[in-house]
Amino acid sequence: MMKAFACDSVTGHPLLRKRKTCACGREADHTGILYLKALQLSDADYLLTLFSKPVWDNLGLKPIHTLQRACSFIRGEGSNQDRRFGVWHTEHGLIGSVAYGVHAKEVFISYWITPLFQGQGYGREAVGLLLSLIEQHDVDFILADVYHDNLPSQALLQSIGFRQYECLGKHRQRPAIRWIKMVR
C-alpha cells in the first residue's frame, strides 16, 4: 500500500518535494523545488516541446515527434515502466520525467532531465524522489539500464548505491549496462 503524500497548497497537485536532504541522501544544493506528478495525456503537448532527436536517441526510444507518440510515451506503451511521472520545477515547469514498473520483487526505473537542466543536480534529486515512491512497495531490488557511454547517468546511479550488474549487449546499436540496487 502506498502512503498518501501532501498536496501543493497552490496547485493542489500531489507532491514529493525536495527536502533539505534529498531522498538519495545527498544535501540539496539548489534553491528550486522539484516535485513529481503523474503524467497525464493532457501533458503530451508540453512533453513534445522537451523531446528532440538527441533526447529520444539517448533514451533508446523510437522518435517522439507527434502527439500520438507523446501519448504512447505517457502511457508507458512498450516499456517495463508503467508508472510515469513528470519532474516539475516550480519555476520552470516540466523538466523531465521518471518512471518505474514493479515486476514480482524487482523494480525497473528510467529517468531523464531535459538537456537545459542537466548537470545541476536535478537528475539526482528526481531519482531520489522516485526512490521515495518505490520504498512503498515490497521489492528486493531496483534495476536501471544505462547506455555504456552515458557516464553521467552511471555516476549518478553509483553515487546512490547502485552497482553494475550485467552487460546487456547492444540496444539500438549501442552497448548497455544493467545497474542494480539491493533494497533488502
> Tens digits of per-residue pLDDT, 109-133?
999 999 999 999 999 999 999 999 9
Q: Give me the long-range contacts of 111-114 (CB less than 8 A, separation at least 24).
A: 111/87, 111/144, 112/55, 112/58, 112/59, 113/87, 114/50, 114/55
CB 44 within 8 A of CB 28: no
pLDDT score at 114: 93
Residue 8 lies in a domain: no
Task: Please count the residues of the chain.
Answer: 184
CB 179 within 8 A of CB 165: yes
Instruction: Report d(CA 8, CA 37) in Å as an integer.
Output: 11
Reading the block at residue 10, the C-alpha cell is: 497552490
Residues with pLDDT less than 70, the chain: 1-32, 171-172
CB 15 within 8 A of CB 5: yes
Task: Find the domain containing 108 and state its range.
Answer: 34-140
Q: From 6, 3, 4, 1, select the one nearest 18 (Cα to Cα).
A: 6
pTM, to two decimals? 0.79
CATH number of domain containing 97: 3.40.630.30
pLDDT score at 9: 41
**Count of CB atoms situated within 10 Å of the CB of 113:** 26
pLDDT score at 10: 38
pLDDT score at 30: 43
Cα 147 to Cα 36, 46, 117, distances in angstroms: 24, 26, 20
Residue 147 lies in a domain: no
Domain count, the chain: 1
Residue 3 lies in a domain: no
Residue 132 lies in a domain: yes
pLDDT score at 23: 42
What is the residue-averaged pLDDT of the chain? Answer: 82
pLDDT score at 171: 64
